[in-house]
Amino acid sequence: MYHIMPYWWDINSMAEFMGNVIDWGELWKQKTAGKKECSMLWHDKKYAGRYDENVKANNWRKGRRLIRELNVTMRSRVLDIGAGPGTLTIPIASMVKHVTAVEPADGMMWYLKKNIAEKGLDNVACVHKKWEDVDIAKDLEGPYDVVVASLSLGMPDIKAALEKMNAASSAYVYLFWPAGVTYWEANYAEIWHELHGKEFRHGPRCDCLYNILYGMGIYPNIKMYKDEYLESFSNINDAVEYYRPFYNIENYRQEAILRDFLRKKLIRKNGRLILKGYSNIAKIWWKKRYDY
Ligand SMILES: C[S@@+](CC[C@H](N)C(=O)[O-])C[C@H]1O[C@@H](n2cnc3c(N)ncnc32)[C@H](O)[C@@H]1O
């Protein structure tokens, strides 16, 4: 049966399939409900330090790879949301006029400031807040030609967060977010039932983002790329210790399951234990239009 929907239907970020209404913003909330807040883990300097080491590898290769995907010039003013230790902020700062880095986690902020100081950068401003708590007028130094959020969309009210990103930008907005099951989630899912007696619930994917934006009247571009996941440990105990919070390990039984699993997964290379795989990441981007 066909329904004739009123003209404002799309604006509500909803879609209809076989008579059922899909509210993509609500779906995003449901898929994040009960999950640990994304920034929580990164308060800890131990975890932030490992992330920092990874993104610095090969002269900030990860960030430089992402920067090639952005439309920036020497005159650009950039807003990096969920900047981490500066994955994008550090390598992009010497290519543009100004960067504002928003980062809520204490550990990540500590490394971000350390990296800014070590590089002697004087065109980076740091905002130690969650994006949801940022006041565009009071906390930021906009307008920004480029607003970017890379793997940092752990925000339950994503529609409000996207609206704010769009408002903070005078030209481009770029989001980097998984498509399909990521390598690390596939690993969690393998033993989640054994650990916790229930199936692993995957987080919201880029299809939600696309549909929410579409409902906002934004028709974004999408490009897929493969992102490498690589962690290296000196021994199995280090690996177990590192993965404990990611697998929600709370007792000896669970720790033994994780240890067995990692023994099977880790590959020995040059005296190190390596976990390596690939995930599909979507680059979702749009240019603000003023001619609607
Ligand atoms: C996986 S890291 C990504 C860091 C960096 N953007 C990158 O691409 O490597 C996710 C970052 O997003 C930050 N984050 C999580 N929730 C956030 C929020 N609500 N607002 C701003 N940043 C957030 C975390 O603290 C963390 O530093």
Has residue 291 got a pLDDT over 70? no
Which of 17-21, 55-59, 234-238 is the least confident region? 17-21
The fraction of the chain above a pLDDT of 70, given in percent, is 91
**Does the C-beta of 38 come closer than 6 Å to ligand 1?**
yes
Q: Give the number of the atom of ligand 1 that is nearest the alpha carbon of residue 154.
A: 16
So what's the pLDDT on residue 219? Answer: 95
Which of 16-25, 149-158, 173-182 is the least confident region? 16-25
* Helix, strand, coil % in the chain, rounded to nearest 5: 40, 25, 35
Q: Give the number of the atom of ligand 1 that is nearest the alpha carbon of residue 176.
A: 8
Q: Which residues contact 94 (CB under 8 A, 6 or more apart)?
A: 119, 121
**Does the C-beta of 86 come closer than 6 Å to ligand 1?**
no
What average pLDDT does the chain have?
92
Scored b (16 or more CB within 10 A) or e, 44-82 reads eeebbbebbebbbeeebebbbbbbeebebeeebbbbbbb
So what's the pLDDT on residue 1? Answer: 38
**Does the C-beta of 105 come closer than 6 Å to ligand 1?**
yes
Has residue 33 got a pLDDT over 60? yes
* Confidence at 38, pLDDT banded by 50, 70, 90: low
Residue 79 CA to ligand 1 center (angstroms) comes to 13
**Does the C-beta of 153 come closer than 6 Å to ligand 1?**
no
Which of 20-34, 244-258, 263-277 is the least confident region? 20-34
Question: What is the third-level CATH fold of 22-180+202-227+280-287?
Answer: Rossmann fold (3.40.50)
Burial of 187 from C-beta contacts in 10 A (0-12 / 13-18 / 19+): buried
Q: What is the DSSP code (8-state) at residue 96?
A: S
Residue 34 CA to ligand 1 center (angstroms) comes to 18
So what's the pLDDT on residue 110? Answer: 98
Q: Give the number of the atom of ligand 1 that is nearest the alpha carbon of residue 108.
A: 27
Q: Strand (E) positions, 33-184?
A: 77-81, 98-102, 124-127, 144-150, 169-178
Q: What is the DSSP code (8-state) at residue 197?
A: S
Q: What average pLDDT score do residues 246-256 get?
A: 97
Has residue 162 got a pLDDT over 50? yes
So what's the pLDDT on residue 4? Answer: 43
Residue 274 CA to ligand 1 center (angstroms) comes to 24
Mutational test site, ligand 1, from 38, 61, 69, 153, max ligand atoms within 8 Å of CB:
38
Per-residue model confidence as pLDDT tens digits over 180-206: 999 999 999 999 999 999 999 999 999
Has residue 290 got a pLDDT over 80? no
DSSP, collapsed to helix, strand or coil, labels residue 229 as strand
Q: Which residues contact 52 (CB under 8 A, 6 or more apart)?
A: 84, 85, 111, 115
So what's the pLDDT on residue 17? Answer: 60
DSSP, collapsed to helix, strand or coil, labels residue 77 as strand
Cβ distance 91 to 67 under 8 Å? yes
Residue 106 CA to ligand 1 center (angstroms) comes to 11
Alpha-carbon radius of gyration of the chain: 20
Q: Cβ–Cβ contacts within 10 Å for residue 204, how many?
A: 23
* Confidence at 50, pLDDT banded by 50, 70, 90: very high
So what's the pLDDT on residue 3? Answer: 43
Is there a cis peptide before residue 143, judged by omega within 30 degrees of 0? yes
Has residue 276 got a pLDDT over 90? yes
Cβ distance 112 to 84 under 8 Å? yes
So what's the pLDDT on residue 5? Answer: 45
Q: What is the DSSP code (8-state) at residue 10?
A: G
Mutational test site, ligand 1, from 81, 113, 152, max ligand atoms within 8 Å of CB:
152
Residue position matching structure tokens 């769009």: 166
Has residue 20 got a pLDDT over 70? no
So what's the pLDDT on residue 21? Answer: 73
Residue 3 CA to ligand 1 center (angstroms) comes to 41
**Does the C-beta of 87 come closer than 6 Å to ligand 1?**
yes
Identify the residue whose C-alpha is closest to ligand 1 atom 25: 39
**Does the C-beta of 179 come closer than 6 Å to ligand 1?**
no
**Does the C-beta of 191 come closer than 6 Å to ligand 1?**
no
- Per-domain boundaries in the chain: 22-180+202-227+280-287
Which of 38-47, 82-91, 189-198, 274-283 is the least confident region? 38-47
Identify the residue whose C-alpha is closest to ligand 1 atom 23: 82
Of 171, 146, 139, 148, the C-alpha closest to 290 is 171
Looking only at the bridges linking them, the beta strands covering 169-178 and 98-102 are unpaired
Q: Name the strand (E) or helix (H) holding 65.
A: helix 45-67
Per-residue model confidence as pLDDT tens digits over 88-137: 999 999 999 999 999 999 999 999 999 999 999 999 999 999 999 999 99
Q: Which amino acid is at 87?
A: T
